[in-house]
Structure 1
C-alpha cells in the first residue's frame, strides 16, 4: 500500500511553502497548486485572444477552450464534453439556468428547494418561482441524522412537481445526502433534478451517471482550481431548453449557453486542476485513465482526511460548552465531508474566528450563505457557526494548533 505523500502534495502548493498559516477555510475556497498558476500565466502570455480566428494565438485559445470542457467532462463523468457549460461561478450559472428552465414551466407548477442549501442553490429558484407563478415547497433535513431523508421528500412529491434543487453536501453541516435515491424519487414523479455538488467535489469525485440527475454544478475554486463554475446537463435537455443569448450566437453545444468572451486563461487553469488531481492519483499508487487516476486520488484523500476529521471532532467534543452542528459519530463519517461547524453556549462565533486568525489559523464564522440551515437549526443568522474545513493538504499539527487555540478561550468562558 502506498503511503500518503503529504510532503510531496504540500510542496505543489506555493501558499504552503515556508508558511505556518493553517488554511482551514477550505469550504469557502481551496488553495491552488503551482501547475494551475503556471497554466493561467502561460495562457495570458501566449493565447490572449478570442476564439475562432485563423491566427496562432486564437487557435491556441480554441484548443484550451476545448481541453477544459473535455477535462470537466472527465471530472463529472459526462457522456460528452458538449454537456459541459463553464461560467464564472455556480451561483451565476444557477441564475442563468433558472431563467432558461423557468420558460418551460407554467403557473401552478411546483418546485422543491431545501432547508440545507447554500443560497446559491435557493435564491435563483425562488426568483424563478416568482417570475413564473410557481408553487415553492421546502424540503427539510433531519436534525438527528443531519441528512435529507427519503421520508422528508416523499410527502412533497406529486404530479405537479416539476423541479427539485438538491445539494449533495452541506457547506454548514458537512452532511452528504443520498443524492441517487432522492434523485430517483423525484424523477419518478416527473421532475427535473438539479444537484449542487460544490461542497462534495473537493472530497469525492462526482459521477453524474451514478446519480441519475439532470444537472450538476460545482465550482473549480472549491476543488483546487481557478474561479470558475462548471455545469453539467443532459445533452437532450441542453438542446431542448431555450437559452438566453445574443442573436448571432452559435446554436451548438455548449456554445448556446456560453455567453460572452470565455475566460480562456482560467479554463487553462481548470484543465491543469484536473491534471493535478490525476497526478495525485499517480502519486498514491493509481493508474489508468485520467478519471481512474482521479478516483484513486480521491480515495487516498478521503482516507487521509478521515483521520484529521476524527482528530478535530474528538478534540472539539471534549471541550465544555461546544456543540457540533453535524455528524459527530466516527462510525458515520462516510456520510459527511470534513467541514466541521460548531457553536459555543457562551462565546461568539466571531470571537473564535478572530482569536484563531491572530494565531495564523484561517477559519470562517457566520452563516456563510447557509442561511436556511441556520434558520432550520434555530441559530442566530449573524452568529451562525464557526466553520473549519479540512482539505487533503492540511496536517495533524495544524489540527492540534487549532484545538489548542480554541481551548484557550473555552476555559475562560467556563470560569466566567
Structure 2
C-alpha cells in the first residue's frame, strides 16, 4: 500500500510541473539543476497568470485592481510567514536574495563603526558574505570568519567563543550549503549572538526547498529566501523580527510607504511574482496533512525529504563505485540536502556537464556556485569546479539511473 501511495504521490507531484514535459532530441529532459533554480509549479504559474490576465495595478489606488494588488501582498506575506514560521508583519520582497542582502546591509550597517566586528562563514554562498563584508570594510570593521572543517564539510563549532563577543554586531550564517549540501547547526551561533546582542542573519535559500525552516524555533532575527529555488518565480523574500525591524530606518524614497514591512520594498514590486509565491506555498501545503497551514507544510516536507533521501542515497552509492570520482558530501551522520557534488580526475566538470546535456538530455551544472571560498579551500576550481547534482521532489529514481549511465558513458568517452 505504501509503494502504491508513493507512486500516486510522485505522479501528482510531477503533474504540477509543465516543464517536465520538455523533450530534447526525442528524450525527456532531466532537471538536476534545482540548487540553481527549480522548475515552477503549476499553482505558481496559475497565480501569476491570473494576476496578469485579470488586470494589474500599482498600490494605493481607490479602484478594484489596486485593491486586489494590496490583498495579494497581504496574502503573500502570510504565506511566506507560514512557510518559514516567520513573522507576517516582517515579511518583505525584492528582486532576489542577493539584492535584498545588499539593501538590508546598508540599513543595518548604517550605525556600524570602526572597531566593530561581524562574523561570516567559509561555507556560505557569497550572497550571505560579500554584501556584509563590503560594508564592514567601508566602515573599517574587523571581519571574522567561521572556518569549515574540510573533512566533515561542517562549520568548526570550536571557534564560537573566540569569534562572537561584545564587539560583534552581526553574525551571518547559511542554513544549508549550496555547494556541498551540509545543513548547518546554526543554533549555537544564534544563542551566542543573542548573549552579546548581535544580529543573526540566516541564508535559508538552499534549505527552504528541502526542509521545514523554523525561524521562531531558531530565534533568528532575519531569514532570507528565494522564490525560484522553491518552485516559484524569480523573486527574493525576507522575514525579519518586526520588533527588531522597527528599530531600523531603511533607505527609501521620501513619499514611499513608511510603515513596516512595506518600507523595505523600494519602488514598484514584482506583483505578479509575489502572487506566484502564494501558489508555490499552496503547492507545498497541498501534499501535507494537519489542522493548520503550517502543520500541512511541515508534513509535506517530511514526504519530500523521504523521497529525496531515497534518490540521493542511490546516487551516492552508485557514484562511489565509479573509479576516478571524488565526491564532496558530508558524512552520513551530518544532515544534508540532496546535493551530490563531485569531480572526476582527468575530466573538467564543464566537459561532463556539456556531455550529459548533449548526449543524455540531463541538465546538471558545474562551477563554484558562488560558494567560492569553499571551492577554493577544497581546490576544485582546477576541475572547472564541482559537477553538482541537485535533486527536487519532482525527480525520479529512473532519472537517477539515467544519470549514472550517462556519467559512465562520459568517462568511457574521455578517459
Q: What band does the TM-score fall into relative to the shorter chain?
A: over 0.9
Please name the residue that 2:56 is paired with: 48
Please name the residue that 2:355 is paired with: 355
Aligned counterparts of 1:155 and 1:35: Cα–Cα separation in 2: 47
CA RMSD of aligned residues (A): 1.5
Aligned counterparts of 1:153 and 1:343: Cα–Cα separation in 2: 32
Do structure 1's residue 8 and structure 2's residue 15 form an aligned pair? no
Please name the residue that 1:28 is paired with: 36
Runs of 4+ in 1 over 6 A off after TM superposition: none
Please name the residue that 2:293 is paired with: 290
Picking from 54, 60, 68, the partner of 2:68 is 60
Please name the residue that 2:377 is paired with: 376
Contact 2:90/2:260 (<8 A) preserved: yes
Normalised TM-score (structure 1): 0.94
Please name the residue that 2:236 is paired with: 229
Please name the residue that 1:306 is paired with: 309
1:236 positional shift = 1.4
SS of residue matched to 1:240 = coil
Please name the residue that 2:326 is paired with: 323
* 1:181-260 equivalence runs, <5 A: 181-260=188-267
Please name the residue that 1:107 is paired with: 114
Contact 1:195/1:216 (<8 A) preserved: yes
Normalised TM-score (structure 2): 0.95
SS of residue matched to 2:254 = coil
1:203 positional shift = 0.2
Please name the residue that 1:176 is paired with: 183
Aligned counterparts of 1:360 and 1:412: Cα–Cα separation in 2: 17
Please name the residue that 2:150 is paired with: 143
In structure 2, list runs of 5 or more residues that go unmatched: none
More displaced stretch, 17-26 vs 117-126: 17-26
SS of residue matched to 1:230 = strand
Contact 1:341/1:385 (<8 A) preserved: yes
Do structure 1's residue 398 and structure 2's residue 406 form an aligned pair? no
SS of residue matched to 1:340 = strand
1:261 positional shift = 0.9
- Cα distance change, pair 348–328 in 1 and its aligned pair in 2 (3 A): farther
1:76 positional shift = 1.2
In structure 1, list runs of 5 or more residues that go unmatched: none
SS of residue matched to 2:263 = helix
1:186 positional shift = 2.4
Q: What are the superposed Cα offsets for residues 297-318 of structure 1, whole Å, 9 maximum, x if unpaired?
A: 1000001111001110011111
SS of residue matched to 1:300 = helix
Please name the residue that 2:130 is paired with: 123
Please name the residue that 1:345 is paired with: 345
Please name the residue that 1:72 is paired with: 80
1:234 positional shift = 0.9
SS of residue matched to 1:60 = helix
Q: What are the superposed Cα offsets for residues 4-47 of structure 1, whole Å, 9 maximum, x if unpaired?
A: 21011101111113641111000000011112111111101224
Contact 1:366/1:381 (<8 A) preserved: no
Aligned counterparts of 1:152 and 1:325: Cα–Cα separation in 2: 23
Contact 1:313/1:328 (<8 A) preserved: no
* 1:269-284 equivalence runs, <5 A: 269-281=276-288
